[in-house]
Amino acid sequence: MYDHSSVEARWQAVWQQTQIYETDVGRAIDKDSPKHPPFYNLMMFPYPSAEGLHVGNVYAFAGADIYGRFMAMNGRDVFEPMGFDAFGIHSENFAIKKGIHPNQLTARNVERFRETQLKRIGNRFCWHHEVQTTSPAYYKWTQWIFLQLFKAGLAERKKASVNWCPSCKTVLADEQVIAGECERCSAIVVQRELEQWFFKITRYAQRLLDNLEHLDWSERVKTAQRNWIGRSERDGTVQYHLRDWLISRQRYWGPPIPIIYCQTCGTVPVPENQLPVELPQTEDWLPKGTGNSPLADIPEFVNTACPYCGGAARRETDVSDNFLDSAWYFLRYPASNCSDVPFDPQITTAWLPVDMYIGGAEHSVLHLLYSRFITMVLHDLGYILFEEPFHCFRAHGLLAKDGAKMSKSKGNVVNPDQYIKEYGADTLRTYLMFLGPYDQGGDFSDRGIAGIRRFLNRVWQLVMRHQDSIRANELDGESQRELHPTIHKVREDIQALKYNTAIATLMSYLNTLEAKEHLAQAEIKSYVLMLAPFAPHITEELWHRMGESYSIHQQSFPQANPEFLTQAQVTIAVQINGRTRTTLQLAPDATQEEAIGLVMQSESLQRYINQQEVRRVVYVPGRIINLVI
């Protein structure tokens, strides 16, 4: 049995010391640098609005990281940044609940997220490019984007009947009202007549609709966007369900809207050289419910001079919706260390659009739609060369607890720290990916986590047992027909984000290797390499103990030899009540009785069957067997 605590702490320290994951984004435009095609691997940055991450966050981040590690092992220069979406009602409501100023609470939570959790889950995060939306260095450019829309006639202040949350004491965009309730607090939303700021996203409705046809996104997400845009025709007139984006909020915790009201000059933008308009520190930050932001009660903030005529003027006191913060953060990551521009044109062109974006399906309307809109506007204004931000988007499934989404307010959050301490990050990552299809999620239960730990122990013991006797000679034909279909299956499954079946294939192949008295070098090295994206710490340690050069995560992922893919045996998926639990190798023409016999002999499947009666069997030769119990 290996000591996961010492192994994981050691390699996390080595990775940090050697800065192995700190991508030099300038390499992509340096003519003298060796070229590996850039690959921007993005995951949705978290709200640091609670005391820490839950296992649902680890599920999302680990799944995205596995893909990034796989692409790095396939010759890509992977950029995998991380940051914190710390402004907004979500964070402010939590601060109200705790009775702590949001500035203090956010700083504390970000520190915990980063240092005691995110750095321990085994992701290849590029921390040199971290962004925090609450930093003036970041929201300076959020305000700059507001000004570009204002100057282009795409931002306007008008009186309108708007959604008002009496609990959050602020207006809400239509997209933030679910079945008549506030999506943040579930309070019943009412209508109020108020002067508010809007972005004219409706001008882009048809383009937002048309461009969906060219995106590598799941049809489910595309359909959600089509439905929200809601194009319809009647009597030759085209109408849309989409409404302009209500951008202003009557709260404290957000970027002040960079507008000044002058009696002589009217509504004028803050000059760009005066950005950022910093959020003032105040102890009177609680929402008022009057239709005004708490900033309206700070005279030294409100009262100012008009930048154009020098006369007395007043600042806008609303702050912008935090969805504006997250509508452009992917542009900021590569240029996060630049103070004079929001994004570097050359570097942005080299790294974007994002190659792979993985996030929750619940963001398929608001965040993705707003991000697409802001990107289109910046493209039209000549700042960037592309009009769609995410080439490929994949939604991961929801990891629930007791049938409900994990939520701090519901009290059903499962903290990952205890599992990392007891079993290790590698075990937790692998277990979460083994729970079911990554795009479907499931209900979290820790009943099987010990089994994954035993699986990793077996891998450790296998390498330890054979490390001094591994043969460098070529594989015989039978071993080739065992190894290469395994490589082919694992490679295909990772590419398709079918992590559970990839792990099942690795488990099945481990049984094959354990049964052998002698192992060839190609067998054991290929196995550890295939496991590396899932369990980065233990595989780094095993690679080191095998005398190989640092780091395993800079090696090439094994390639299957097509010559050995036509095999005497095939690998089939084994399902219990429709959920894939493992794979088996058997003859292509094996009968149903033979397949059932092998299933019943599998020790790893007995905990699922648990001596229950098999009521029905669905068997597709060469592909799948499903036992209904």
What is the distance between the alpha carbons of residues 15 and 121, in angstroms, rounded to a whole number?
13
Mean pLDDT lowest among 33-42, 313-322, 378-387: 33-42
Structure tokens at 332: 């900021």
Q: Where are the alpha helices (DSSP H) in 467-591?
A: 477-495, 499-514, 521-531, 536-545
Angle between helices 477-495 and 499-514 (to 10 degrees): 160
Look up residue 24 and give its amino acid: D
**pLDDT at residue number 607:** 79
pLDDT for res 266: 98
Contact of 163 with 117, CB cutoff 8 Å: no
Distance (Å, whole) CA 529 – CA 151: 53
Write down the pLDDT at residue 19.
98
Query: Residue 133's closest CA among 183, 165, 86, 181?
Result: 86
> What pLDDT is recorded for position 410?
66
- Residue 51, pLDDT > 80, answer no
The Cα 382–Cα 398 span in angstroms is 38
CA distance 353 to 330: 9
| Percentage of the residues of the chain whose pLDDT score is greater than 90 | 75
Per-residue pLDDT band for 236 (boundaries 50, 70, 90) equals confident
Residue 409 scores a pLDDT above 70: no
Strands 624-628 and 570-576: parallel
Residues 492 and 578: beta-carbon distance below 8 Å: no
Lowest mean pLDDT among 10-24, 65-79, 327-341, 401-415: 401-415
Work out the mean pLDDT of the chain and round it to a whole number: 93
Token pair for 54: 């839950």
Asked which of 22-36, 247-261, 536-550 is least confident by mean pLDDT, the reply is 22-36
Report pLDDT for 408: 62
Q: How far apart (Å, rounded) are the C-alpha atoms in residues 489 and 481?
A: 13
| Fold: same for 450-563 and 570-628 | no
**Residue 568 in this model has a pLDDT that exceeds 70:** no
Burial label for 118, CB within 10 Å (0-12, 13-18, 19+), is: buried
For the domain with range 138-200+244-322, which CATH number is right: 1.25.10.10, 3.40.50.2000, 3.30.70.100, 3.40.50.620?
3.40.50.620
Q: Is domain 4-129+330-418 in CATH 3.20.20.70, yes or no?
A: no
What is the model's pTM? 0.88
Domain spans, the chain:
4-129+330-418, 138-200+244-322, 450-563, 570-628
Amino acid at 215: L
Alpha carbons within 13 A on the beta-carbon side of 129: 26
Output the pLDDT for position 570. Answer: 82
Is-contact 298 280, C-beta < 8 A? Answer: yes
Predicted confidence (pLDDT) per residue in 214-228, tens digit: 999 999 999 999 999
Per-residue pLDDT at 567 exceeds 60: no
Question: Read out DSSP for 451-484?
Answer: HHHHHHHHHHHHHHHHTTT-B-SPPPHHHHHHHH
Complete edge-to-edge strand list for the sheet that includes strand 216-217: 77-79, 38-43, 356-360, 392-396, 216-217
CA distance 255 to 404: 33
Q: Which tokens belong to 291?
A: 């239709």
**pLDDT for residue 569:** 74
Pair of tokens at residue 408: 């701090």
pLDDT at 341 over 60: yes
Angle at 436 between CA 432 and CA 442, to 5 degrees: 80
> C-alpha angle with apex 48: 250 to 13, nearest 5 degrees?
155
- Does the domain at residues 570-628 carry the CATH identifier 3.10.20.590? yes
Residue 268: which region, alpha, beta or left (left: phi > 0; alpha: psi -120 to 50)?
beta
- 564's enclosing H/E stretch is none
User: How does DSSP classify residue 516?
Assistant: -
Provide the pLDDT for residue 529.
Answer: 99
Statement: residue 523 has pLDDT above 90: yes
Q: What's the CA gap between 376 and 206, in Å, rounded?
A: 12
Look at residue 55 in the predicted model and tell me its pLDDT: 93
CA distance 281 to 516: 68
Beta-bridge mates of residue 573: 583, 624
Task: Inform me whether the pLDDT recorded for 125 exceeds 60.
Answer: yes
Stretch 399-406: mean pLDDT:
78
CATH superfamily of 450-563: Isoleucyl-tRNA Synthetase; Domain 1 (1.10.730.10)
Q: Which residues pair with 197 in a beta bridge?
A: 157
How is 285-339 classified by DSSP, letter by letter?
-S--SSSS-GGGG-HHHHEEE-TTT--EEEE---EE-HHHHTTSHHHHGGGTT-S
Distances (CA, A) of 26 to 34, 35, 350: 12, 11, 9
Which range, of 110-124, 269-283, 458-472, averages the lowest pLDDT?
Answer: 458-472
Query: Two tokens at 52?
Result: 């820490």
Amino acid at the residue 620: V
